[in-house]
């Protein structure tokens, strides 16, 4: 019996990369839906590069704390996360042959509806999502708007790279079960662990 689920290319925690979307490409490249789930204390990032490429990552940056202590907002540890995410993004984009400028030019092209997305249940100062968001903003520059999705129960998303349509997923309730019934994960990740680190 055929499945009625919508297949999307899934990027697991700590993974990410530049992905190609091409209706004439490989079977996997023909799937324009890409996403990630379970960003409970992590951050999901989508950057449209051009018609056929995007960057997608499930960034798992952790602040190592001494027993019983908490990171203060604006702490040096937050700055370390921000700097590390920025460096990894710059290194990755250079290695893959694209830049923040490519994202900005593409997103500002008339008729293009895709936009950079950052999703995390909590992106306020003092939470790990905050320095990741700041790194993405630094990477893209001050003239680029980023769609920020911050909600305690929204822990993932699927974006259609061809249309820009975005669906947020909820965790731990009936919406999550609906997600499981509606979508089917197809692993799309690159090297495991590229986007996992402690500071």
pLDDT tens sequence across 14-48: 889 999 999 998 888 888 999 888 888 889 999 99
What CATH number did the domain enclosing 159 receive? 3.30.1330.200
Angle between helices 100-107 and 129-140 (to 10 degrees): 80
Burial 65-101 (b: 16+ CB within 10 A, else e): eeeeeebeeebebbebbbebbbebbeebbeeeebebe
Q: Could you list the residue range(s) of the whole structural domain that residue 126 is in?
A: 6-198
Query: Is residue 85 a part of any domain in this protein?
Result: yes
Total domains present in the chain:
1
Quote the CA–CA distance of 26 and 151 in Å, as a whole number: 35
Lowest mean pLDDT among 126-130, 142-146, 190-194: 190-194
pLDDT at residue 174, as a whole number: 42
Query: Is residue 93 a part of any domain in this protein?
Result: yes
Query: Is residue 191 a part of any domain in this protein?
Result: yes
Query: Is residue 1 a part of any domain in this protein?
Result: no
* Maximal CA-CA distance, the chain: 55
Record the pTM: 0.85
Nearest to 197 by CA among 60, 52, 13: 60
Q: Calculate what percentage of the chain has a pLDDT beyond 90.
A: 42
Query: Is residue 106 a part of any domain in this protein?
Result: yes
Query: Is residue 52 a part of any domain in this protein?
Result: yes
**What mean pLDDT is predicted for residues 101-126?**
91
pLDDT tens sequence across 174-187: 444 344 445 566 66
Query: Is residue 126 a part of any domain in this protein?
Result: yes
């Amino acid at each position: 019996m055929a499945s009625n689920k919508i297949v999307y290319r899934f990027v697991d925690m700590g993974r990410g990369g530049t992905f190609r979307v091409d209706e004439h490409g490989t079977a996997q490249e023909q799937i324009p839906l890409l996403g990630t789930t379970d960003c409970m204390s992590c951050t999901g990032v989508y950057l449209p590069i051009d018609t056929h490429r995007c960057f997608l990552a499930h960034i798992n940056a952790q602040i190592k704390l001494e027993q019983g202590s908490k990171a203060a907002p604006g702490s040096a540890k937050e700055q370390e996360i921000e700097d590390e995410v920025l460096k990894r993004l710059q290194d990755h984009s250079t290695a893959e042959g694209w830049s923040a400028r490519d994202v900005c030019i593409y997103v500002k092209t008339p008729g293009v509806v895709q936009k950079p997305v950052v999703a995390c249940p909590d992106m306020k100062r003092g939470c790990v999502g905050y320095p990741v968001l700041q790194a993405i903003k630094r990477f893209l520059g001050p003239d680029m708007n980023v769609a920020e999705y911050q909600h305690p129960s929204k822990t993932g998303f699927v974006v259609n790279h061809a249309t820009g349509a975005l669906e947020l997923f909820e965790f731990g309730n009936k919406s999550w079960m609906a997600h499981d019934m509606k979508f089917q994960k197809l692993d799309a990740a690159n090297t495991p662990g590229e986007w996992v680190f402690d500071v």
